[in-house]
Structures are given as structure tokens and as C-alpha cells.
Structure 1
Amino acid sequence: MADPATYRPAPGSIPDAPGVYRFRDAQRQVIYVGKAKSLRARLSSYFQDIAGLHPRTQQMVTTAASVEWTVVSNEVEALQLEYTWIKEYDPRFNVKYRDDKSYPWLAVTLNEEFPRVMVGRGAKRKGVRYFGPYSHAWAIRETVDLLLRVFPMRSCSNGVFKRSEQIGRPCLLGYIGKCSAPCVGRVSPEEHREIVDDFCSFLAGNTTTYIKRLERDMKAAAGEQEYERAARLRDDIDALRKALDKNAVVLGDGTDADVIALADDPLEVGVQIFSVRGGRIRGQRGWVADKTDDAGTGEMVERAMMKLYDGEHAEAIPREVLVPALPDDADAVADWLSRQRGSQVAVRVPQRGDKRSLMETVERNAKQALILHKTKRASDLTTRTRALEELQVALDLPEAPLRIECYDISNLQGTEVVASMVVFEDGLPRKSEYRRFVIRGVEGQNDVASMHETITRRFRRYLDERAALAAPEIASEDPAADGPRLVDPDTGKPRKFAYAPGLVVVDGGPPQVAAAHDAMVALGVDDIPLCGLAKRLEEVWLPGEEDPVILPRTSEGLYLLQRLRDEAHRFAISHHRGRRSRTMVESALDDVPGLGEVRRKALLRRFGSLKKLRSATVDEIAAVPGFGPRTATAVVEALAQDRSTPPAPAINMTTGEILEEGS
């Protein structure tokens, strides 16, 4: 634990200007990033009497071993640079607004000849219009089911659409009136596009105009004694009103705003966001994060907006953002949002009226979400802490292993040998740190040699990156930043392998543990604990020990090791199956003339596995970019000939598990 006085900058050396600062630990890892209007005033506050600091700030300044800063021109630049560095370095003491859910969107594929409405998740695609986000996928499906009666646009997958085209019959939705059946030519592309435009316009908030138009049409049909048409229009109006009832009217028509509310305690903060489009709540999302400093409400609001409206989600920025408290740099935040959106964005606190009432509703939701999270997490946090403490005691470790790496080997009769590395931090998976290895230097099915190569490669990389950190040629060009960066100068990505684990776990018994230990000793890595978990009796083996460590079956530490081992096994198997599918596709298509590596990869991307490729028709293969009828026919014939030779069963030699083709 460092004394902040040992690295306090000299008096007068900190500039009185806006900028961004970074605290680093003894290993040069960035542990905190912050910004300030005045670097001198902000950094001086960290070096006051330590007893007067917030407990988490105390922990940060005593963990740090150095501080550095970068001066920028204005507050907007500081805001952008701070967020960039937080994403780049992932500092442990910054509040991490990690959303643990993938929120669904209602998506309309306007880039297709016959646009389709569907539930979308993940990254947004060009040419697709999105509405939401929604809290649940079923809420989207309920809304779409009601609207398809009035706007019978296509909602089927490409496979169903093509099949209906081939057989000349629509799917069930076409028969019950919830699809205009463009697949069989009931409507032209132009007529279907009009339906889609009405659908999007209605979802965008132009609801009153459309319902009034339907009411006029209904009255006109009744006046002309077209009672069946009038009844159908009446039912359409009812369906639209039911859909509208699911989205409560909260603000005047045309209002385009996000309402952000917080609920916090000394340890955590809950965030809730209601998306209001066209005066109606179109979506809701939220998350809970650990509080790692003593930031006030305004600063937490600013961080939440940076998370919510980063570059990938710029198109979701509304005209107005309603918040419970303005950030300290409210003008800079509004300027940044306006630049992202391409037009003016207002950030303000609602004081009265409907908007204030809605803010109170969102605040109640944030409080309820935080209470629910704490109820669920209490036992989980306690359990994870107990598991790490049990491992520390059982394995005689100097401290609880906050970062654990686990390795597994997978192969098929000595071929396609791969290894996996999974990482758990604080007892939870950190999937961004997972790594895969393709073993090339080992012949046959030799798990021990494969483990030796995997551990050698991982810790050679660790030593190389640690050495690179001390190299003067990669030191930061910023004269105020004393020391090198934990970032690769070639790729700009963090040096993930430069971080030492608190415990290395290998899947296996004494042979695998001995191989891993020999690899680490050969590299001079003797300060990282190692153990192995054998499947048969769930024994924990330590290097050089004749007898295993037996953890009780009810031990949380044993359960954590089992989760690590199972996750490493799953990750290795998935990698192995992917490589085996590619190999089988390439082998089956060896005799097709003119079929090179690029087009083989295109086939694998399109169909995913050899099993699905074999079931594809000539027309489906010919639809793949780069293929024509002649090449597609040659592919089908080659696969038919290859099918006549039954393949050998695929068995994972480590576990004896039969790997199903195409899985």
C-alpha cells in the first residue's frame, strides 16, 4: 500500500488548465481516469489528509503509485478524452456502467425489396430502421401482432419467404390477413412499401392522424352501406388503440426525449432510462453499477449519458434529455451530444408539469431496480467472497486470487488440437479476456505437451509485454506522462497479457500440472500459483505434491473451480467444432474445380456447417456471392459423392465426448 505523498507532484508542476488525468499502480496499470476544468485544483484534492477522503478514494490513492495528466483545449475535449481512455484502459476504480442485458429493438429492414419487421438485438445495421429499445422481446411481439392486422407487412424470415415463393403458397399469416403476401405476388413491391411506410410512420408517433383517417373511411363505408368494410375498419381502429394503450401517453405529441433517473447508496447506483418518442414511452432500460468513488449525482448522470450515447448509439440521441441533476459541465455535455446527433440537444432538469411527473415515475423504477438487485446480489456477493477465501486458505495463497485463469485442451484423434484460456475476476467470467490457442508444435494426441506449449506461449507473451512496458521506445509521447503505457503502439489495444493472474488452473491431474509448472519454471515465472482440477474425483493437484488437496463437496471454492473448468472446456469445444467444420467443408470440396479459399469461406459463412451445406439446394448455393449455377451444381455433386463415404466418429480425446456434426 503506497503513501500518496511518495508520488505527489511537485508544487507548481500541475497546470491550472482543463485536462484528463490517470492514476497508475506499481505495475503501470491504469486504475483511474478523471477529467477536470482545473487539473491543479482537482489533483490537489487527492493529496489532502487521507482521513478526509471518501473510503473508496482512499483505497484508490493508496493503491496508485503515480499520477500523470494531459492538458486539452476545452471541457468538451476533456469529456471526450476521458471517455476514450475509460473504454481503452477499463480502470478498476472508475464506475463501470455495464448493462447486463441485451435490450431488443423493433427493427424494419428498409434495405430489402420487401422490408420485414422483426426483433433485433446487438449492433445496428445500415439500412435498418429501429424503434425502442424495449424491456422485453415479448412486448415487441405483442405490439407487432396487433399492428399487423392494420399494416399487413412481411414479418417472416428469408427462408420462409423464399420457400413460399417456390411453392406458390403464402404462410399462415397470409391466410389470416396479417400479411399482404408479397411472396406470391398479392401486392407489388411499391404497394408493400406503402404499407411499410405507414407502419413506420405510426410507430414514429403519427398516430392521431392515422386513426382519424381510418375513422373517416369507416364512416364513409357505412354511409355507402359497405358494412363489412366498415366493420373491418372498426376492428382495425380497435387494434391500433389497444397497441397505443400499451404505451401510456405521458407527454404532448411530438415530444422526443430520454428521461434518466438514478437511485444510489454508498456502494451502488441504479440507472433507469425511459425513451419517449412521439409523446409515448417507446422503451425502457437500466442497469446497476458499483460506486468506486464519491461522485455526486451530476457526475454520475454525466457518466451514464456517456455510456448511453457513445459513438455506436449516436443515432439514438433524442432532441431533449431530462435528468435529475445537471452535470458540472452541462454545457460541454450538451455540446458533445449535439455534435453526436448532428443537431441541437437540450439537457435540463424538469421542474413541473407532466415531465416532472414522469421523472418521478422513472426515479421510482430506479429505486425498485436497485432494491431488487441488492436482494439478488447479497447472497451472490457473499458466496463469491467466501469461495475466493476458501481457495486462499486451501491452496495456501498469499492473498485471495481475484483474477484466475483456467486452461483446457481439445482435439480430435490428435488433429485440430486447440486450447482455451478463460478468465474469472472477482469470481465472475470476464469474457473480453478469453483467449484461444491453435496448437501446431505437437504431433498426435498429447495433452501434456499441448498444455506445456499453451502455458509457454501465454507466459512468454506475459514476459514480452512486461519487458515492453519498460522499453523507452514505447513510452508515452506526453512529457507529463512519466512512464510507458499498457497499450500496444501498433494496434492501439490494451496489452491484456501483461496482467499477472492470482491463480492458474489447468484441466487435469499431476501430468498436466507438471507440464504447466515446467513451462513456467523454464520461463522464470515462479511467483504465480498453479493448480489442476482432475475430473474423476474432483481433486485439486499442486505442483510437486504427492497427494491432492481434497475440498469438501459443499465447498464454494470447489464449486468456483468447477465453473472455471467447465467454462474452459466449453470454450475449447466450441473453438474445436468451428475449426472441424471448416476442415470438413474444405476436404469435401477439394475436387470442385475453380473453388478457392475465398469462396469456401463464403460457403461456410452462409451455411455454418457441412451438414447444412449438404442439405442446401443448387439455387441456395448459387445465391451465395461469387457462385453461379454451374459452380453450385459442381458443389452439390461433390457433396453427394462425399456423402457416400461415412465419416469416422468425432471424439474429443480429452473427455471421450462425441462431437455431433454441425453442432
Structure 2
Amino acid sequence: MADPSTYRPRTGDIPTDPGVYRFRDAEGRVIYVGKAKNLRNRLTNYFQDPANLHPRTQQMVFTAASVQWTVVATEVEALTLEFTWIKEFDPRFNVMYRDDKSYPYLAVTMGEQHPRVHITREARRKDSRYFGPYTQVWAIRETIDLLLRVFPVRTCSAGVFRRAEAQGRPCLLGYIDKCSAPCVGRISEADHRSLAEDLCEFMEGRTRPVMRRLEEEMREASAALDFERAARRRDDLAALEKVLQRNAMVLDDGTDADVFALVTDELDAAVHVFHVRGGRIRGTRGWVVDRADDTPPDALMARLLQQVYGDMPKAPRPLRGRPTGQADATSVDDVAHTPTQAIPRDVLVSVMPEDGPVIEEWLSGLRGARVRLRVPRRGPKAQLMGTVRENAAQALQLHRTRRAGDLTQRSRALEELAEDLDLPAAPLRIECYDISHTQGQDQVGSMVVFEDGVPRKDAYRTFNLRGPDGNGVPDDTAAMDEVLHRRFARLLAEESGLEGEDEDGVAFQSGPVDAGTGRPRRFSYRPDLVVVDGGLPQVNAARATLDGMGVDIAVIGLAKRLEEVWVPGDEFPLILPRSSAALYLLQHLRDESHRFAITKHRRRRGARQTRSVLDDIPGLGPARQKALLRHFGSVKRVRAATEEQIAEVPGIGPQLAALIRARLGDART
């Protein structure tokens, strides 16, 4: 650990302007990012007597080896740059909120030729419309079931849709009128898209026109003595009324607001938010964070608002030519309101964040209009804040219960593992390797990483195995040798400061951190324990590979049949108790490695089995292939087309059309 006095800058060299600073460790990794109105005042606080610092701050300054700063013009610019760097570098000493669970959304894939309604937990695709987040999947399923009576948009997957299209027969939903069956042409593509747009408008809150239309159709059918049709419209109205009743009015003035409540204790903090649009709750969400230091609530609230609104996507595109802007949706009473996925006019908080006026100005800049940031003191908004605070308190209680059991179990597992394997310390980073193939074809190796007893999925890696002649390896021990050699050769090169290309042909530079960005490189961390899937032959092969490379890391193997733990060189395996927390951790690690390897193998096998003659044509990538097949319908029709007809496809010019014609002609002969 570095002494802060060794890298402390001269006080006179630190500017008094607003800015953002970064602390880096000895390897160049960014470990903390902060902002300040006055850089000199803020930074000198870190270099005071360490005894006066909070333990976590003290740990940070002793872990760091250097500090850098960037001067900006205003505090708002400092806020923006701070968030950008925190998001880019993910510093270990910064507070980062994590969702206390993965929330479901109702999604409408408007970017597809035939839009589809489905439930998802990843609201990322730009060409889809998302509604939520919601708290329960079953609640969304019930809502969809009710809405499909009035808006029979397809809900099937692409595979089911293509199969029905090829057979000329719709699925069950088409027969029970829960789908308009665009797969068999019962509805035109334009009319089906119109249904999807109507559904989106209803979910955004513009419900009155739909209700009026159904009421008029019911009266017309009744007047025409078509009582069966009138009964269907009556049931449709009842279904929509049931959907609306679930979304009660909480603010009579039709306010658009996000309501944040923060609840803390000595170790944790929980935040809950209600997204209120048009006076009604359109979605909820929660976050939790470990309070490793004495960060005050106002600072926690400031970090939360940075994270939530800094990551917020742009407002969705308007429907059917409606004007753009923040008020791009309407409530049940046709009151204009802000979409859920946009910044509202009012942001209500349980505690005013630090630098509140700066954050308010920052939010106003993001929204393009004024945003009011305030703490409600009385009236309906204060009552709503109490409800949100109660939700946060319950989430914190649940998190505390889970956290206590989880941390105890993980700590015990790592301690037992260190004791059973005679390791010098608990293995905080464990890497597990597995091999997957089908009779020697499409060989894939996987590397799964656990840190502090939990998966670190951003560090997972897969390896396409080639062998010495490029045709694969003869057996699993040779495959494990290749995977370990490729992984640890890169690690040793980075640790020793070498530069060059790895065995995948990827160029790398010296050191575990990119000098330009400060981000860790792919294989920059050395594991404390290596686990291989298999028995004594596999573990001995792994040990021989690492010894040949001069890598001194503990290696074990876990056999599937009797869950035996094999140690290199030992004639008999180590049998852990069936109730052992260490055995449970190893099983979880091995199963995760197997899952990851077989998923990659199936993807590779599927890609090989679905290769097309178009894949061998230079310059014809996936996008152009898709355009070509969409235009002609099949490779057979492309073969029958002339060079001029092929050149008419967008993205394919005369030169490429001539090449396609020549290659397909050769393939035909």
C-alpha cells in the first residue's frame, strides 16, 4: 500500500476551480472518481492526518498511488463528467446502486415487420416500446390477457410465427381470437401495425378514444339487433375497465413526477421510486447499496439521481405523427403527461441531495425544460412519499435478511475451502474451466470467474479450440492445455510488460491497465484458485500446463460422479461433507462453467449447421444477406435472378451483383 505523502501534489499546484478528480492505484486502475466546487479544498482533505479520515476513505488513499484532476467551467459540467467517468471506469470505492431485483417490462417490438407483445427484463432495444417496470410478472400476464381481447397483437416468438406461416395454419391464439393471425394473412401488415400502435397509446394512457369507440360499436350493434357482437364489445369494455382500475389515481392534479424515498441504516441504504404520470402510478423500481462508509443521505441521494437520469434513454419516438417533446402521452382523462422513460417536470425526494441547485440545473438541461427538485412537506404528495418510503423500508429489511445469510454462507464457504485445500488465504478470485463439444466437433472452452463467492459475469470468457493444425484437439486434456495456455500466456505477458499479439491475433500492450482509458485489460487479474471440470487426468494435465509456464497457482479438479475433489499428485480424492458450504460453492462454480460452455458450443454448432452458400461470397455480410433474402425470398430465387435484378437490392451495387451472380452460378453447376 502506498503512503499518501508519496503522491500528494503541492497545494499551490492544485487549482481552485471546479473540476473532477481521479485516484489511481499502482497499476493505473481508477479506484475513485469525485467532483468538487473547489478542487484545492477538496483534495487537501484527503491528505490530512489519516487518523481523522473515515476507515473506507483511509483505505482508498492508501490504496491509491496517484491523483489526477480535470478543470471544467461549471459545476454542472463537473457533475456530467463525474458520472461519465464513474460509468466508464466502475471505480471500486464509488457508491453504485444495484437493482434489488430484475423488474419485468411489457415490450412491443415496433421495429419488427409484424410487431410482437412480450414480457422482458431488459429494456434496451431502441426500436421497441417498453412499459413499466412492474413488480410482478403475473400482473403483466393478466394485463396482456385482458388487452388482447381488444388489441389482438401477436405474442408468439419468431420461430412459432415462421412455422405457422409455412403451414398456413395459425396457432391456438388465432383460433380463440386472442391473435389477429398476421402469419396467415387474416390481417394486413398495416392493420396489424395499427393495432400495435393502438395498444401502445392505450398503455401510455390515451384510453378515452378507445373506450368511446367500443361504446359506440356496442350501441350500434345493439341497435342493429346484433346482440352477439354487442356482448363482445361489452366484455371488451369490462376488460379495459379492469385494467384501468388496477392503476388508481394517487395525485388528483394529474402531476408528472418521479417520487424517490431513501431509507438507510449503518450498513445499507435502500431507495424506492414511483413513476407517477398523469396522476397515476405507471411503474415502480428499487435499488440497494452497501454503505461501506458514513456517506450522508444527501450524498447518497445525489449519486442515485446521477445514476438514474444519467442512464435514462431518450424519449421514445412519437406515434402516428404526434408531436415530439416531453408531453408525448396522455392520461386516462386525456391529460398530457411525460412518458415513463423520460425526465418529468417534478422530481420529489425524501431528502434534498447535496448540491441540489446544481442537480436541478443538470436535470433541466437533460430534459430541455425546467425540472423542479423538492421535498414534499404536506398534502397528497407528502402522503405518497410516505407510501414510497414504506416500500423502501420493507425492501431494506428484506435485503438485510438476505444479506446476512448470504454473506455468512459465502464467507464460510471460502474459509472452508482454504482450510480443506491448505491454501494460505481464502480464494477471493476463483476461475473454473470446462470443455464442450459434440464428438470432437465445434470444440469450445469456457472460463467462469467467481469473486468473493459470487459470479463475476463480465469476466467470463470462451475459447474456440483450434489445435496445432487448426482442426481441433484430440481429447479433453489437450483442450484444457490449450485453454489454460492461452489464458495464462496473456496474463504473464501483461504482468511482465510485454507487447505483441496473443494466439487469437489480438494485439495487446504492456501492463494490466490500458494507458489511454485506464480500464483493466481482458486478463489482467491473477486468480487465487483454478478449478477444472474432471478427475485426476484433467487436474494433472492442468497442473503440468501451469508448471510449464511458471505459473504458481493452486489447481483442483471436481469430478461429476461422486463430487470428488482432486488435488494434483494425490492418489486419492478429497471427499468433502455433503453439507459443506465449500462443496456447494464448487458445485455452483462447476455447473455455471458447464452451462456457459455448452451455451457457446450450441451457438457455434447452430451457426455451422445454418451456413448458407451466401456466407462464402466476399463483401456479402449479414446485413446484405438479410436484404437480399428479404427481397427475393430464398437463395433459389436469387440464383434465378439476373445481375441487374440483384443490383436493385439496397446496399448491393453492380460490382457485388456480378460477383454474387458468378458465385451462385458456380454453386449451381
Which of 372, 392, 402 is 2:398 aligned to?
A: 372
Whether the 8 Å contact between 1:585 and 1:600 is mirrored in structure 2 is no
Write the letter of the residue equivalent to 1:459.
F
Give 1:403 deviation, angstroms: 1.1
1:151 and 1:199 in contact (8 A); partners too? yes
Whether 1:531 and 2:560 are equivalent positions in the alignment is no
Instruction: Map 1:321-336; keep pairs closer than 5 Å.
Output: 321-336=347-362
For the residue of structure 1 that corresponds to 2:425, the secondary structure is: coil
Q: Residue 616 of structure 2 aligns with which residue?
A: 596
Measured after TM superposition, the shift of residue 441 of structure 1 is: 3.4
Say if 2:245 is the partner of 1:245.
yes
- Alpha-carbon deviation of 1:433? 0.2
| 1:446 equivalent in structure 2 | 475
In structure 2, relative to structure 1, the CA distance for the partners of 1:68 and 1:317 (3 Å cut) is same
Q: CA deviation at 1:363?
A: 0.9
The 1-side partners of 2:34 and 2:311 are apart by 20
> Aligned partners of 1:538, 1:190: CA distance in 2, in Å?
58
Give 1:359 shift: 1.5
Q: In the alignment, which residue of structure 2 is the partner of 1:581?
A: 606
What do residues 315-372 of structure 1 show as CA deviations (whole Å, max 9, x unaligned)?
Answer: 3223232222232233443344344445444333223322222121111101101111
Query: Per-residue displacement from partner, 1:285-335 (whole Å, max 9, x unpaired)?
Result: 213222233222222222223332344634322323222223223344334
TM-superposed deviation, 1:105? 2.1
Amino acid at match of 1:365: N
Letter in 1 for 2:577: P
Q: Is the 8 A contact 1:76 1:332 kept in 2?
A: yes
Paired amino acid for 2:520: P
1:194-593 alignment runs, 5 A limit: 194-208=194-208, 211=211, 232-252=232-252, 254-311=254-311, 313-315=313-315, 316-319=341-344, 320-442=346-468, 444-468=473-497, 487-488=513-514, 494-526=520-552, 528-543=553-568, 548-586=573-611
Q: Name the CA distance, whole Å, in 2 between partners of 1:17 and 1:267.
A: 34
CA distance in 2, matches of 1:631, 1:210: 44
- In structure 1, the partner of 2:634 is 628
The alignment partner of 2:582 has SS state of helix
Structure 1 CA distance for aligned equivalents of residues 158 and 434 of structure 2: 39
Distance 2:60 2:635 in 1: 65
Q: Measure, in 1, the Cα distance between the counterparts of 2:404 and 2:237.
A: 48
Aligned to 2:98: 98
Amino acid at match of 2:308: L
The CA distance in 1 between the partners of 2:216 and 2:440, in whole Å, is: 74
Q: Which residue of 2 aligns with 1:639?
A: none
1:436 is matched by which residue type in structure 2? Answer: T
The answer to whether the 8 Å contact 2:539/2:568 transfers is yes
What amino acid is the match of 1:556? A
Contact 1:317/1:337 (<8 A) preserved: no
The aligned amino acid for 1:94 is: N
| 1:385–1:164 distance in 2 versus 1, CA, 3 Å | closer
Query: Contact 1:205 / 1:253 at 8 angstroms: preserved in 2?
Result: no
Equivalent residue letter for 1:38: N
| Cα distance between partner residues in 2 of 1:429 and 1:25 | 24
Output one character per residue of 1:156-202: Cα deviation in whole Å (capped at 9) or x when no partner.
45555566666666655555554555566665555555544443333
Alignment check: 8 A CA contact 1:599 1:626 kept: no
Query: How far 1:563 sits from its partner (Å)?
Result: 1.9
TM-score (norm 2): 0.78
Residue of structure 1 equivalent to 2:323: none
Q: Secondary structure at the match of 1:355?
A: helix
Kept in 1, the 8 Å contact 2:437–2:444? The answer is yes
Q: 1:414 to 1:192 in 2, by over 3 A?
A: closer
Question: What one-letter code is carried by the residue in structure 2 that aligns with 1:122?
Answer: E
Count of residue pairs brought into register by the alignment: 601
Q: Could you report, residue by residue, the CA deviation over 1:99-136 in whole angstroms, capped at 9, with x for unpaired residues? A: 26432222233345654433244243334322212223
**Cα gap change, 1:599 to 1:360, in 2 (>3 Å):** farther
Could you tell me how far 1:493 is from its partner in structure 2? 5.3
Query: Which one-letter code corresponds to 2:108 in the other structure?
Result: V
Quote how far apart the aligned CAs of 1:432 are: 0.6
Q: For 1:157-168, what aligned pairs fall within 5 Å after superposition? A: 157-158=157-158
Per-residue CA shift, 1:245-282, capped at 9, x if unaligned?
11121124653322222222121121212222222112
Counterpart of 2:35, as a letter, is K
TM-score with structure 1 length normalisation? 0.79
Aligned counterparts of 1:139 and 1:229: Cα–Cα separation in 2:
28
CA distance in 2, matches of 1:168, 1:547: 62
After superposition, give the CA deviation of every residue in 1:497-553 in whole Å (9 maximum; x if it has no partner). 122222222333444444434443444433x43333344554444455566544333
**Deviation at residue 410 of structure 1 after TM alignment:** 3.2
Query: Percent of aligned positions with the same letter in both sequences?
Result: 58
Contact 2:28 2:518 in 1 (8 A): no
Give the distance between the partners of 2:511 and 2:377, measured in 1 at CA: 46
What is the DSSP-based 3-state SS (H/G/I as helix, E as strand, rest coil) of the residue aligned with 2:430? Answer: strand
Provide the aligned C-alpha RMSD in A.
3.8
Aligned amino acid, residue 409 of structure 2? T
Distance between the aligned counterparts of 2:276 and 2:465, measured in 1? 52
* Matched-pair contact (CA < 8 Å) for 1:413–1:445: no
Gaps of 5+ in 1: 472-483, 607-620, 635-663
Post-superposition Cα deviations, 1:568-597, rounded to whole Å, max 9, x if no partner, equal 2222222223323333445xx6xx6x6626
Equivalent residue of 1:496, what SS?
coil
Alpha-carbon offset, residue 6 of structure 1: 4.5
Give the deviation of 1:624 after TM superposition.
5.7
Structure 1 letter corresponding to 2:533: D
C-alpha distance in structure 1 between counterparts of 2:499 and 2:617, whole Å: 42
